[in-house]
Copies of this chain bind each other. A is one copy, B any other.
Amino acid sequence: MLTIVVDAMGGDNAPGCVVDGTIEALRESGNRFEILLIGQEEKVRPLLAQHDLSAMNLRFMHAPEAVTMEDIPAIAVKTKQESSLVKGLQLCKAKQAHAFVSAGNTGAQMAASLFVLGRIPGVLRPTIYAYFPRIDEGLTNIVDVGANVDCKPENLVQFAEMLTIYQRYAAQIENPTVGLLNIGEEEGKGPESLKQTWRLLQEAHHENKINFIGNIEGHDILGGKSTIVVCDGLVGNTILKFGESIPHFLSSLLKPAMEKLVGSGQLDPKTAGLVGQTFKGLFEPFDVEKWGGVPFLGVDGISIVGHGRSSSRAIKNMIYMAEHMIEKRVNEHIAEVLS
């Protein structure tokens, strides 16, 4: 049976929502896997005591320290060896568990994953992608979204290769397509590093490692021109955070517009409420919780990174993603292609 380590201390709503999400995952899946919840005893035990866990594949392990959102990643990894983060990853390294899940400090989790688990042979730099909605059905993944800046062309090509493997084996996308985010479609556009990346992606295409469709532009992301969008972490991180700010921005414009219509009698309050709900629903494709988190691609083990704001639903879905990564043997496929 698979064992998944869940960091009880990770996330803005930890440990409460982590405990809830963990129990929900076990209940919903019918105890399909074992969960090893790790965290500070004095905070987690009282929460666990509120549930009947007798029939659950749930173990608890004490870790005296906790990495906080304020911790500086490189320092936290070194000084908090007794944290749930470091101890949890060490359990994976020692093959006592198959995957690690956390919604805590992303930078610290990346640093600790790299430090404890190491890289898959052949991988230059591990990476993190993000989900983006698109006009058609399905989803677009952008890589890298902040784990790597100053990317070299060969890094970007590996990101494309790793995400192609992920989409093909774990996301049921039969034919993943790769677009290189640039300032224009034509070959020869953009900075020198992207011209070189274009050439290397073209080579990988001819080696059947990826399906490269060429340069794409900012409007092609939501347009869904490719299933994989490759860019430096600076660009991807900026687009991601910009995208996340759109719902709030538009809601702040819609509210006074609706109030004006109600005030002038053109719209009754009930209908205005209905419209507000519909409008909110438009942003559901932007709902990151559905996916829970993302795997840190390229590390020699499974480390699922969640949003700090993760709810219990997100935690549950991160656990499922961990299970999926193990079963679909994504890392084994990456090792085959990249080594």
On A, residues with C-beta under 8 Å from B are 133, 135, 146, 149-150, 181-183, 190-194, 217-219, 221-223, 231-235, 237-246, 249-250, 252-254, 257-258, 261, 266-267, 271, 274-275, 278-279, 281-282, 285
B234 touches A190 (CB 8 A): yes
Copy total for this chain? 2
What are 8 A-B contacts defined by CB distance under 8 Å? A133-B249, A181-B238, A183-B233, A190-B234, A239-B239, A254-B279, A261-B274, A275-B275
Chain B nearest CB from A68 CB (Å) reads 16
B237 touches A222 (CB 8 A): no
Residue on B with the closest CB to A231?
B238
**How long is the Cα–Cα vector from A286 to B222 in the complex, in angstroms?**
17
**A238 touches which one: B150, B217, B245 (CB < 8 A)?**
B217
**A150 touches which one: B192, B234, B252, B282 (CB < 8 A)?**
B192
**How long is the Cα–Cα vector from A252 to B281 in the complex, in angstroms?**
13
Question: Beyond A135-B252, A246-B246, A249-B135, is A146–B239 a contact (Cβ under 8 Å)?
Answer: no
**A234 touches which one: B133, B183, B244, B254 (CB < 8 A)?**
B183
Known: A194-B234, A222-B249, A223-B249. 13 other contacts (CB 8 A): A135-B252, A183-B234, A183-B237, A217-B241, A218-B237, A221-B242, A222-B242, A222-B245, A239-B242, A250-B282, A257-B282, A261-B274, A275-B275
Residue on B with the closest CB to A260?
B278
A149 touches B191 (CB 8 A): yes
B241 touches A218 (CB 8 A): yes
Residue on B with the closest CB to A147?
B183
Q: Which residues of B have CB within 8 Å of A245? A: 218-219, 221-223
Q: Which residues of B have CB within 8 Å of A238? A: 181, 183, 217-218, 231, 235, 238-239
A274 touches B282 (CB 8 A): no
A278 touches B257 (CB 8 A): yes
**A261 touches which one: B149, B193, B278, B285 (CB < 8 A)?**
B278
